[in-house]
Amino acid sequence: MNFSVLHKDAGSGARTGKLVTDHGEIDTPIFMPVGTLGTVKGLFHRDLVEDVKAQIILGNTYHLYLRPGLDVIEKAGGFHKFCSWDRPVLTDSGGYQIFSLAAKRKLTPEGYFFQSHIDGSRHFFSPEKAVDIQRLIGADIIMALDECTPGDAPYDYAAQSLTMTQQWLERGLARFRSTDGLYGYSQSFFPVVQGCVYPELRKQAALYAASLDAQGYAIGGLSVGEPTEVMYQMIETVDPYLPLNKPRYLMGVGTPANILEGIARGIDMFDCVMPTRNGRNGMLFTGKGMINIKNRKWADDLSAIDPEGTSFVDKIYSRAYLRHLFIAGEMLGPQIASLHNLAFYLQLVREAALHIKAGDFTPWKNKMVGQLETRL
C-alpha cells in the first residue's frame, strides 16, 4: 500500500490524498460503507460501485469468523471472491464487537474470551489470532486488536487498558510482519490509537503507535458516549504526533457534520453504520439538513427526494412515495433511503476534496455544518 498527500488546506488540517492498494486506488478523504457480513445491508454491489461510487468497504472480523466461517471464506479464495467485490476492503479486528458483548466476554492479558451472540459457543481472540483471521479473510487493510474503553471510563482503568492495548499491538504487529498474505496480494496493518478521553493517554498512544512505522493509523474508542466536542479534542490531541505522510482513519464516525469536522482535523478515512442504519429507520441526510421521512408533513410532498442528490433514486422518486413505502412496511423504502444516504456521504467527501483543492474548505465547511445539523 502506498499513500501520498496531494493537497493541503491552508486554514485547517484538511488534505486530499491517494491511497493505492492491490485492489485499486482510493481518493481521500473517503467514507467507507460498512459491509459487516459481506453485504452493505439491502444494496447490490453494482449500486455501490455505479451509484454510490464506493471505493472501499468494510468487513467485520468477528461476524465473518462466526459465519459463514473461515473455512468457507478460504475455500472461496478470500473475502473478495466470496462476496464478488473486486475493490479494496478494510476489516476491523473484532474488538469493538466483543466490547459490545458486555456480560458475554472476559478480558485477559492474553486476549478476549467471548461467547457467540448467535449460539453461545465459546471462542478466544488473541492479537495474533486476530491477525491470522484477517490474513485469511484477505482484507487489504487490517486492524490491530485493541480494547475499546467506554467514553466514561475512569482514568486508572483507561491507563491500564492502554498499556494492554499497546502490548497487544506489539504482538499483533510482530505476527503481521512474520507472516504473508494467502492470496497473492499485499495487505497493510494499522495500529489503533486508544486512550479514552484523556489527552495525556491519547498522546502516549499516538507516540507509541507512530514509533512502529506502520502503513497507516486508526483512531479508535471515540463516538462511544463521550460529548462530540471531546471527540474533536481527542483528534486534535493526537494530530501532532501521527506521521503526516500516512493515512489516518477515524473509526466508527459518524454524522455528516462529524465527518467534515474530522476532515478539518486531518482525518483521511471514515466509516459508520449511520447512513444505512438511520436510512432503514426513515432518516435521510441531505445538504440542507435531515429528513424524517415518516413524518406526516411529507405525506403529499411530491417533490424529488433530494433535488441536489447524486443517486438515481433522488430524482425519480418523490418524498411522498418514499414515506408511503415506509408506512406500508415495504422493503423498498429502507433500500431507497440507504442508497440515498450512502450516495450523499460519498458526494459530501468528494465536495470536501474539491474545496480543499480550491482553497476555501474552511468557510465552506462552517456553512455546511450548520445546514447539515438542521432538522427539516
242-287 pLDDT, tens digit each: 999 999 999 999 999 999 999 999 999 999 999 999 999 999 999 9
Coil, strand or helix at 31:
strand
Whether 104 maps to a domain, the answer reads yes
Residue 314 sits in the same domain as residue 218: no
pLDDT at 174: 98
Helices (H) and strands (E) in the chain, counts: 15, 17
Whether 8 maps to a domain, the answer reads yes
Residue 290 sits in the same domain as residue 361: yes
The parent domain of residue 101 ranges over: 2-255
Q: List the 24-28 sheet strands across, edge first.
A: 2-8, 15-21, 24-28
DSSP-assigned states of every residue in 94-146: SHHHHHHTGGGEEEETTEEEEE-TTT--EEEE-HHHHHHHHHHHT-SEEE---
**% of residues, the chain, pLDDT over 70:** 100
pLDDT tens digits for range 102-116:
778 888 999 999 999
Residue 176 sits in the same domain as residue 106: yes
Residue 326 pLDDT > 80, yes or no? yes
Residue 96 sits in the same domain as residue 212: yes
Indicate the average pLDDT of the chain. Answer: 95
Mean pLDDT of 177-200: 97
pLDDT at 199: 97
Residue 363 sits in the same domain as residue 321: yes
Range 261-265 contact pairs with CB under 8 angstroms and sequence separation of 24 or more:
261/232, 261/365, 261/369, 262/235, 263/14, 263/29, 263/349, 263/352, 263/356, 263/361, 263/365, 264/9, 264/12, 264/13, 264/14, 264/361, 264/362, 264/365, 265/12, 265/13, 265/232, 265/235, 265/236, 265/239
The catalytic position among 92, 140, 146, 314 is: 92
Whether 279 maps to a domain, the answer reads yes
Question: Which residues have C-beta within 8 Å of that of residue 111, sequence separation ≥ 6?
Answer: 124, 125, 126, 127, 129, 145, 168
For residue 194, what are the CA distances in angstroms to 137, 185, 267, 310, 328?
25, 29, 16, 36, 44
pLDDT at 101: 76
Residue 189 pLDDT > 90, yes or no? yes
DSSP-assigned states of every residue in 82-96: HHT--S-EEEE-SHH
* CATH number of the domain enclosing 245: 3.20.20.105
CA distance 36 to 59: 5
What is the band of 97 on the pLDDT scale with cuts at 50, 70, 90? confident
Whether 263 maps to a domain, the answer reads no
Domain count, the chain: 2
What is the band of 228 on the pLDDT scale with cuts at 50, 70, 90? very high
pLDDT at 14: 98
Among this protein's residues, is 9 annotated catalytic?
no
Residue 114 sits in the same domain as residue 225: yes
H-state helical runs in 265-318: 274-280, 312-316
Among this protein's residues, is 306 annotated catalytic?
no
Residue 309 sits in the same domain as residue 231: no
Domain-terminating residue out of 202, 221, 255: 255
Sign of CA dihedral 257, 262, 267, 272: negative
Residue 225 pLDDT > 80, yes or no? no
pLDDT tens digits for range 111-130:
999 999 999 999 999 999 99
What is the band of 47 on the pLDDT scale with cuts at 50, 70, 90? very high
Q: List the 111-115 sheet strands across, edge first.
A: 105-108, 111-115, 122-125
What is the band of 155 on the pLDDT scale with cuts at 50, 70, 90? very high
The three cell numbers of residue 358 are: 480550491
Mean pLDDT of 137-153: 93
pLDDT at 231: 94
The catalytic position among 9, 140, 146, 271 is: 271
Whether 15 maps to a domain, the answer reads yes
What is the band of 37 on the pLDDT scale with cuts at 50, 70, 90? very high
Whether 264 maps to a domain, the answer reads no
pLDDT at 193: 97
Burial class (CB in 10 A: 0-12, 13-18, 19+), 374: exposed
Whether 260 maps to a domain, the answer reads no
CA distance 23 to 212: 25
Residue 43 sits in the same domain as residue 188: yes
The three cell numbers of residue 352 are: 470536501
pLDDT at 148: 85
Mean pLDDT of 85-105: 85
Residue 187 sits in the same domain as residue 249: yes
pLDDT at 182: 96
pLDDT at 103: 76
Domain-terminating residue out of 229, 255, 281: 255
pLDDT at 224: 77
Residue 108 sits in the same domain as residue 182: yes
Residue 151 sits in the same domain as residue 13: yes
**Angle ∠(90,95,96) on CA atoms, nearest 5:** 85
pLDDT tens digits for range 282-325:
999 999 999 999 999 999 999 999 999 999 999 999 999 999 99
Coil, strand or helix at 58:
strand
Mean pLDDT of 153-177: 96
Residue 220 sits in the same domain as residue 334: no
Whether 261 maps to a domain, the answer reads no
User: Do residues 246 and 212 lie in contact, with contact meaning Cβ atoms separated by under 8 Å?
Assistant: no
Mean pLDDT of 78-84: 97
